[in-house]
Amino acid sequence: MNRVFNFSAGPAALPLEVLEQAQRELLDFNGTGMSVMEQSHRGKAYETVHMRAISRVRRVMKVPDDYSVMFLQGGASMQFAQVPLNFLGAGSRAAYVVNGTWGEKALGEAKLAAASRGAEALIAATSKNSKGSYESAPPVATWSVASDVAYVHYASNETIHGIQYGIDDALPSLEARGIATICDMSSDMLWRPVNVADFSLIYAGAQKNLGPSGVTLVIAKRKFLDQGDRAIPKVLQYRTHDEAHSLYNTPPTFAIYLVDLVLGWIEKQGGLDAIERTNRAKASAIYRAIAASDGFYRCPVAASQRSLMNVVFRLPDEAAEEAFVAKAEKAGFVGLKGHRSAGGIRVSLYNAVTLEAAERLAAFMLSAV
Residues that bind ligand PMP (CB under 6 A): 10, 75-77, 102, 155, 159, 184, 186-187, 205
How far is residue 34's CA from residue 31's CA, in Å, rounded to a whole number?
8
Residue number, nearest CB to ligand PMP = 75
d(CA 303, CA 282): 17
Please list the residues that pair with 205 across neighbouring strands: 216
Spatial separation of the C-alpha atoms in residues 347 and 236, rounded to whole Å: 35
- Give min distance, CB of 103 to ligand PMP, in A: 8
Strand partners, 314: 298
Nearest to ligand PMP of 87, 296 (CB atom): 87
Burial of 341 (0-12, 13-18, 19+ CB in 10 A): exposed
Provide the minimum distance between the beta carbon of 13 and ligand PMP in the complex, in angstroms, as a whole number.
15
Please, what is the minimum distance in Å from the beta carbon of residue 77 to ligand PMP? Answer: 3
Give the 3-state secondary structure of residue 216: strand
* Cβ distance to ligand PMP smaller for residue 75 or 212: 75
Burial 246-283 (b: 16+ CB within 10 A, else e): bbbeebbbbbbbbbbbbbbbbeeeeebeebbebbeebb
Residue closer to ligand PMP by CB (options 35, 77) is: 77
Least distance between ligand PMP and beta carbon 165 (Å): 11
Cα torsion for 64, 68, 74, 75, to the nearest 10°?
0
Using the minimum distance from each CB to ligand PMP, give the nearer residue, 74 or 271. Answer: 74
Q: How many CB atoms lie within 10 A of CB 3?
A: 9
Could you tell me the smallest distance in angstroms from the CB atom of residue 125 to ligand PMP? Answer: 17
- Least separation in angstroms between CB 208 and ligand PMP: 7
C-beta separation of 259 from 51 below 8 A: no
Residues known to be catalytic? 102, 184, 208
In the Cβ-directed half-sphere of 252, how many Cα atoms lie within 13 Å? 20
CA–CA separation, 31 vs 42, rounded Å?
Answer: 18
Task: Please choose, from the candidates 55, 62, 64, 54, the residue with its C-alpha nearest in 3D space to the C-alpha of residue 220.
Answer: 64
CB nearer to ligand PMP: pick between 173 and 186: 186
Contact call for residues 145 and 127 (beta carbons, < 8 A): no
Count how many Cα atoms sit within 13 Å of the Cα of residue 248 in the half-sphere of its side chain.
Answer: 16
Please, which residue, 39 or 187, has the CB nearer to ligand PMP? 187
Q: What are phi and psi of 114, to 5 degrees?
A: -65, -45
